[in-house]
């Protein structure tokens, strides 16, 4: 179920918003960044990629220098071993959307970009991967930007991961090489590139001095004026007034300071700006931002503006949470005179292994059936397959009629007894309901194997009640489904793509 704000966005029913859910001709024709940024961006990417910049990837990096090249972008955390499968689905959607745009506007070149969230510091969100019934966790010191973390200990974890999923030798070697990279940003670039380099996907780490320099003035503006707080808060009020929820709330200062291996939040305390043990006057921190912009890191409010400052972007592809908070920032983009992209909802994926599909077929159940809660699926299945009736619907109605007749008759004798008659009716119906539940329980015991299979299938498709894609890793599911997803998703409609194993 999508958040209301996303549903309204997709149907273009957000009366307070001009955001579009698919790139328009106006966005394509008017989007650009200056040539200085393009040149530095391309050079930075070539430096980051090193020997990995080959084939379609190298061509797309060089193409970024040209004014007729535009981008389609998605962003994500640096989850180990790619994390939940929806990360792969999101990148796939981004690639296919770029291809669709190229067909629609052949005079332009469209490059898919994965923006790595290398500056995030919430290591607990990315340090684990679920493998069947186990949870593998990378236990290593953390605290600062995750992209800068050394991969110490990751090779040992990779061997545990490989031993559990038993991939083919190509995938196993890819995972081993991933874990040998110097830091988590390089490791993630290597692995994502290995999966998508043939499609020209560019992986960008924007945590660099040369790129941060182009955003220095925006960071100074946030420090000096705090305009983001007022602008976003105003739009948030309009959103909540429409009965919708907001994902993020702005602060007076929306920056972190990177020092001592940590990412420290900057706060305004009187006339001082404070981050941990560091403090500045307004003039001092302004000079520090201009001198060393790489020491400052935008938070969730400013990071999208940083992205759109660097990239000639026409669309951002994200999940429900991302779409929600990007919609909160439309006014901020306008206030800062930064181009605002189309906000595109990604497609989802659901993989059904062959053994699971066989069990579903034997039970006579479909994917739609499993969109319900397990107890509801089981009850409906038992009602359909049990030889005896389990609901006593007819008897329930007959009993209610009989009780009402008794109540009417007793009222002609003594109206004060109608309360007892009503209580009797309630008791009769409750007893019949309990009897029905007991019958269901008895049939469940008779159909124990089938009932357990239904629960197991539901847990496979919706682990802990959540969509499979939000916890299951693509290598655990089946890495071959990446091609199926790429070939069959519809970028115009963010549907759930069901993938059956042959």
pTM: 0.87
Are 9 and 50 part of one and the same domain? yes
338, 435: one domain: no
- 417 and 306 share one domain: no
Kindly state whether residues 404 and 342 are assigned to the same domain: no
**pLDDT tens-digit profile of 346-380?**
999 999 999 999 999 999 999 999 999 999 999 88
Give dist(CA 228, CA 301) in Å, integer.
8
Q: What is the mean pLDDT of residues 474-501?
A: 92
pLDDT exceeds cutoff 60 at 130: yes
- 243 burial type by CB count under 10 A (0-12 exposed, 13-18 middle, 19+ buried): exposed
Note whether 301 and 362 are same-domain residues.
no
Residue that is last in its domain, among 346, 374, 406: 346
CATH of the domain at 43: 3.40.50.620
Are 10 and 37 in the same domain? yes
Q: Is 100 left (phi over 0), alpha (psi -120 to 50) or beta?
A: alpha
Higher pLDDT: 142 or 358? It is: 358
CA distance 351 to 469: 9
- Pair 9, 80 in one domain: yes
Nearest Cα neighbor of 436 from 473, 472, 400, 391 is 391
Residue 388 lies in a domain: yes
Q: How far apart are CA 357 and CA 365, in angstroms?
A: 9
Say if residue 316's pLDDT is above 90. Answer: yes
**Contact predicate 28/105, CB 8 Å:** yes
Task: Decide if pLDDT at 16 tops 90.
Answer: no
Is the pLDDT higher at 32 or at 295?
Answer: 295
More reliable by pLDDT, 288 or 142: 288
Instruction: For residues 14 and 142, state if they share a domain.
Output: yes
What average pLDDT does this structure show over 469-474?
94
Catalogue the E-assigned strands of 224-271: 255-259, 262-265, 267-269
Q: Compute the distance between CA of residue 227 and CA of residue 168 in angstroms, rounded to an integer.
A: 53
Domain membership flag for residue 232: no
DSSP labels, 181-196: SSBHHHHHHHHHHHHH
pLDDT tens readout for residues 71-118: 999 999 999 999 999 999 999 999 999 999 999 999 999 999 999 999
pLDDT at 406: 79
With respect to residue 433, please indicate whether it lies within any of the assigned structural domains.
yes
- Residue 391: per-residue pLDDT: 61
- Indicate whether 360 and 340 sit together in one domain: no
Q: Are residues 151 and 46 in the same domain?
A: yes
pLDDT digits (tens, 9 = 90+) for 243-254: 888 988 999 999
Distance from C-alpha of 469 to C-alpha of 83, rounded to nearest angstrom? 10
* Helices vs strands, H then E, count in the chain: 22, 15
DSSP string, 33-66: --HHHHHHHHHHHHHHHGGG--HHHHHHHHHTTS
Answer yes or no: do 305 and 451 share one domain. no
pLDDT band at 443 (very low <50, low <70, confident <90, very high): low
| Residue 329, pLDDT score | 95
| pLDDT at 446 > cutoff 80 | no
pLDDT tens digits along 372-426: 999 999 988 887 876 455 567 777 788 778 878 877 888 788 778 788 878 887 8
Q: Would residue 289 count as lying in a domain?
A: no
Within-domain flag for 263: no
- Determine the pLDDT at residue 80: 97
% of residues, the chain, pLDDT over 70? 98
Residue 143 inside a domain? The answer is yes
CA 37 to CA 201: how far, in whole Å?
19
Is the model more confident about 424 or about 457?
A: 457
- Closest residue by Cα to residue 390 from 379, 401, 375, 376: 379
In this model, does residue 434 exceed pLDDT 90?
no
- Does residue 226 lie within any of the structural domains? no
| pLDDT score recorded for residue 383 | 79
**Residue 450: which domain range?**
354-465
Give, for 72, the enclosing helix (H) or strand (E): strand 69-76
What is the mean pLDDT of the segment spanning 34-38? Answer: 92
- Work out the average pLDDT over 181-208: 97
Write down the H helix ranges in 414-492: 418-446, 448-461, 474-477, 481-488
Per the structure, the count of domains in the chain is 2
User: Which pairing describes strands 348-352 and 496-500: parallel, antiparallel, or unpaired?
Assistant: parallel
Whether residues 158 and 40 fall in one domain:
yes
pLDDT at residue 444 in the model: 65
* pLDDT at site 227: 82
Residue 91 belongs to some domain of the structure = yes
């Amino acid at each position: 179920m999508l958040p209301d704000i996303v549903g309204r966005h997709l149907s273009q029913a957000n009366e307070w918003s001009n955001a579009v859910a698919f790139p328009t001709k106006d966005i394509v024709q008017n989007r650009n960044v200056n040539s200085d940024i393009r040149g530095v961006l391309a050079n930075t990417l070539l430096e980051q990629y090193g020997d990995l910049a080959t084939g379609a990837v190298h061509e797309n990096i060089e193409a970024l220098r040209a004014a007729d090249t535009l981008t389609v972008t998605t962003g994500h955390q640096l989850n180990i071993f790619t994390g939940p499968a929806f990360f792969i689905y999101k990148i796939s959607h981004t690639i296919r959307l770029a291809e669709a745009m190229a067909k629609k506007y052949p005079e332009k070149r469209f490059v898919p970009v994965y923006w790595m969230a290398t500056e995030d510091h919430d290591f607990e969100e990315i340090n684990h991967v679920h493998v069947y019934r186990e949870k593998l966790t990378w236990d290593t010191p953390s605290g600062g930007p995750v992209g800068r973390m050394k991969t110490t200990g990751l090779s040992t974890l990779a061997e545990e991961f490989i031993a559990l999923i038993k991939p083919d030798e190509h995938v196993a070697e890819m995972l081993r090489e991933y874990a040998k990279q110097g830091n988590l940003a390089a490791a993630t670039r290597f692995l994502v590139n290995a999966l998508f380099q043939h499609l020209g996907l560019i992986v960008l780490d924007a945590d660099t001095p040369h790129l941060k320099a182009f955003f220095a003035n925006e960071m100074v503006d946030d420090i000096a004026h705090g305009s983001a707080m007022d602008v976003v808060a105003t739009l948030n009020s309009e959103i909540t007034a429409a009965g919708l929820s907001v994902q993020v709330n702005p602060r007076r200062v929306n920056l972190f300071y990177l020092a001592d291996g940590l990412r420290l939040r900057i706060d305004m305390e009187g006339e001082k700006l404070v981050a941990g043990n560091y403090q500045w006057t307004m003039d001092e921190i302004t000079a520090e931002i201009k001198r060393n912009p790489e020491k400052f890191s935008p938070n969730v409010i400013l990071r999208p503006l940083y992205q759109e400052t660097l990239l000639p972007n026409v669309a951002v592809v994200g999940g429900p949470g991302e779409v929600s908070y990007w919609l909160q920032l439309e006014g901020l983009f306008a206030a800062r005179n930064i181009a605002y992209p189309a906000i595109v909802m990604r497609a989802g994926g659901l993989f059904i292994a062959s053994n699971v599909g066989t069990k579903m077929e034997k039970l006579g159940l479909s994917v739609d059936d499993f969109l319900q809660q397990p107890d509801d699926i089981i009850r409906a299945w038992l009602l359909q397959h049990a030889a005896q009736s389990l609901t006593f619907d007819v008897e329930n109605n007959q009993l209610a009629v009989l009780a009402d007749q008794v109540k009417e008759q007793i009222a002609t004798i003594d109206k004060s007894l109608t309360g007892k008659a009503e209580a009797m009716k309630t008791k009769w119906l409750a007893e019949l309901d309990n009897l029905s539940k007991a019958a269901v329980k008895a049939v469940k015991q008779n159909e124990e194997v089938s009932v357990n299979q239904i629960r197991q299938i539901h847990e496979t498709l919706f682990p802990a009640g959540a969509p499979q894609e939000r916890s299951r890793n693509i290598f655990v599911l089946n890495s071959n489904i990446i091609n199926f997803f790429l070939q069959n998703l519809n970028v115009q409609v963010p549907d759930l793509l069901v993938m059956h194993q042959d």
